[in-house]
Amino acid sequence: MRKIGALEAGGTKMVLAVYWEDGTEIERITLPTESPKETMPPMIAFFQKHQVDALGVGSFGPLELHPDAPNYGSITSTPKLKWKDYPLLKELLGGRNIPAKIDTDVNAAVLAEVELGAARGCRNAVYVTIGTGIGGGVYADGQLLHGLVHPELGHMLLRPHPADPNPRGVCPYHDGCLEGLAAGPAIGARVNGDARDLPDDHPTFAIEAHYLAQMCVNLILTLSPEKIILGGGVLGRQGLLPMVRKETLRLLGGYVQAAAITENIDSYIVAPALFPVSGLAGSYLLGKQALEEAKA
């Protein structure tokens, strides 16, 4: 049986694994994300040691994802400056001509949840991770959505909550965007502290739920997903997910008449089934896709 290499490339850590084609894991390692000079050699060595037959990568971005682009698989304008314009996929392959596919970490995650997790059987689903940043992957009509570049739904613009003491948020690019208002650092800025130190019943989580519900409403109205999956550290907060569901229904105002939403919101806006490895599992699936497409 052939081997598939998978990399989930994150801003703080790199998770690498090698699987048999049927999904059985052979080995997994985690490395801290330093500069390419420090981090790339052990990653290349890991995949070389296993002689992988295909490679799948889910990475932080933004990324060049047009297969015809000369810099396909490069990280482009990231704020992680050491990785800016870095040809990640090309360097990982090191000249080896094996099937390979790269996508955003969140697209990898939504793919995994659709094939193996909380959105199994769905042809339309969205995965959003809410942690130190906010990113979302979109699966639309049975495939990952890229569009012109790829969706950046973490930066959608929102209406301020009337009781928000910091209604412009903390994003350096936008006044009042989702990430600037609802990621971990935004919560911290709102309470002049660290979001992780707050009790579950702190009133700031009502504001948080309001923003995440606005996001859900916007996703429902634009993409009409069959499932919305919310992951990431912030969603680990007890009681937040039920508040988001309730607020989503309130903000929708009964406009979208689908029983999946109006009667079954608890199974419509859900936690990921594969957390925290959705991205890694998705990277394996990307590698498997690349292998199958090369065969066809």
Sheet holding 25-32, edge to edge: 25-32, 13-20, 3-9, 54-59, 100-104
CB 55, CB 100: distance < 8 Å? yes
- The region of 152-160, 192-200, 251-259, 281-289 touching Zn ion under the rule CB under 5 A is 152-160
Which of 46, 60 has the CB closer to Zn ion?
60
Size of the site for Zn ion (CB under 5 A): 5
- The CB-of-257 to Zn ion minimum distance in angstroms stands at 32
Q: Which two tokens mark 288?
A: 């498997």
With binding defined as CB under 5 A, does residue 155 bind Zn ion? yes
| Minimal distance, residue 245 CB to Zn ion, in Å | 25
Residue 255 touches Zn ion, criterion: CB under 5 A: no
Measured from the CB atom, is 82 or 155 closer to Zn ion?
A: 155
From 43, 134, 138, 171, residue interacting with Zn ion (rule: CB under 5 A): 171
β-strand pairing of 269-270 with 25-32: unpaired
Interacting span for Zn ion (CB under 5 A) from 31-39, 120-128, 175-183, 197-205: 175-183
Q: How far is the CB of 155 from Zn ion (least distance, A)?
A: 4
The interface region with Zn ion, picked from 80-88, 122-130, 169-177, 194-202 by CB under 5 A, is: 169-177
**Residue from 207, 252, 206 nearest 228 by CA:** 252
Task: Extract long-range pairs of 88-93: CB within 8 Å, 24+ residues apart.
Answer: 88/9, 88/57, 88/59, 88/63, 89/55, 89/57, 91/36, 91/40, 91/44, 92/7, 92/40, 92/43, 92/44, 92/47, 92/55, 92/57, 93/55
The single residue among 173, 200, 254, 255 that binds Zn ion, judged by CB under 5 A, is 173
Cβ closest to Zn ion, residue 36 vs residue 167:
167
* Closest CB to Zn ion among residues 28, 174: 174
In the complex with Zn ion, the residue whose CB is nearer, 96 or 174, is: 174
* Token pair recorded at residue 81: 């400056």
182 binds Zn ion (CB under 5 A): no
Q: Is 291 in the site for Zn ion (CB under 5 A)?
A: no
The interface region with Zn ion, picked from 27-35, 149-157, 216-224, 258-266 by CB under 5 A, is: 149-157
CB of 188 to Zn ion, least distance (A): 16
Residue from 177, 241, 244, 274 touching Zn ion (CB under 5 A): that is 177
Least distance in Å: CB of 194 to Zn ion?
21
Minimum distance of Zn ion from residue 157's CB (angstroms): 8
User: What's phi and psi for 23, nearest 5 deg?
Assistant: 100, -5
Angle of the 204-223 helix axis to the 184-191 helix axis, nearest 10: 150
Which residue number, 171 or 265, has a Cβ lying nearer to Zn ion?
Answer: 171
Is position 174 an interface residue for Zn ion (rule: CB under 5 A)? yes
Give residues with Cβ within 8 angstroms of 261, minimum separation 6: 220, 249, 252, 268
Whole-number Å distance between alpha carbons of 218 and 213? 9
In whole angstroms, what is the distance from residue 125 CA to residue 110 CA?
Answer: 7
Q: Which residues of 212-246 are buried (b: 16+ CB within 10 A; e: fewer)?
A: bbbbbbbbbeebebbbbbbbbebbebeebbebbbe
Chain residues in the site for Zn ion (CB under 5 A)? 155, 171, 173-174, 177
